[in-house]
Amino acid sequence: MLNLLFILGILCPLNLAEIEIRLLDPKIDGVLASRFPNSFLLGLPDCSVYGNKSAELLYTELPSNENKTKSFIVPSCSVTRLGLLLQNLKNGTTYNMQYKIAGSNDTSANLTMATTNVIDFQQIDSGLPARSGAMVVITVILSVAMAALLIGLIVVLFSS
């Protein structure tokens, strides 16, 4: 049985392998982030296999099921490749993404990711944070000194 599976595995052609689709990882790929409010930063298909071929990224906005396509050319291995920036998305929405090489049946798995939500900057509370020690010390000592001086001045005035 195992022998049969091995033979079948050898006979299977290699081009049924899937294209890898993933978001770039800040730790591995040295980017700041890959999920933004209005865009995604995706890793490109393998340049050694698909370099210089034209490809498409099919993406679907999940609640409304709108299909869109972004065409691009996979850069060859001689060029430094950064990633594919998919822009003009809506914040806080989930998208299904899939690569497809033009003119062949090579596709990638579906990647489901949600864009981040933004907080309105007006919501930041910019009121006075805690009072610092310096403020309290200066105010207390100066008020006490002011009172002492005033008393001293009155004493001197009325003793003359």
Partner 1 sequence: MGAGAVTCLMFVVVALNAIAAAAGLALFAVAIWVAVDGYKLYPISGVSGKDDIFAAAWIAIFTGFAFFLTCIFGIFAALKRSRALMLVYLIIMFIIFLFECASAITAATNRDYLVGNSNFVKKQMLQYYGQDSTQGKQITQTWNRVMEQVECCGADSPEDWMLYNSTLKQIYPTYNWPLSCCKRLSTFELQNPAGCKVGLTSTLFTKGCFNYIESVLSRYTWAVSWYGFSVLMLVVSLDVF
Task: Quote the least distance from Cβ 128 to partner 1, whole Å.
Answer: 5
Name which of 3 and 88 has its Cβ closer to partner 1.
88
Please report how close the Cβ of residue 82 comes to partner 1 at its closest, in angstroms: 5
- Calculate the alpha carbon distances from 39 to 8, 45, 106, 154 in Å: 42, 18, 25, 72
Smallest distance, partner 1 to C-beta of residue 158, A? 11
Least distance from C-beta 11 to partner 1, angstroms? 42
Strand-pair partners of 60: 67, 96
Nearer to partner 1, 7 or 146 (CB): 146
Question: Closer to partner 1 at the Cβ: 7 or 144?
Answer: 144
Binding site for partner 1 (CB under 8 A): 26, 30-34, 36-39, 41, 82-83, 85, 87-88, 116, 118-122, 124-126, 128-132, 134-135, 138-139, 141-143, 145-146, 148-150, 152-153, 156-157, 160
Residues 6+ apart with CB under 8 A from 103: 54
Q: Which of 93, 113, 110, 114 is nearest to 21 (CA)?
A: 110
In the complex, the smallest distance separating the C-beta of residue 127 from partner 1, rounded to whole angstroms, is 8
Three-class secondary structure of residue 154 per DSSP: helix
Q: Using the minimum distance from each CB to partner 1, give the nearer residue, 109 or 144.
A: 144
- Residue 56's contacts (CB-CB under 8 Å, 6 or more residues apart) are 69, 70, 71, 72, 99, 100, 101, 102
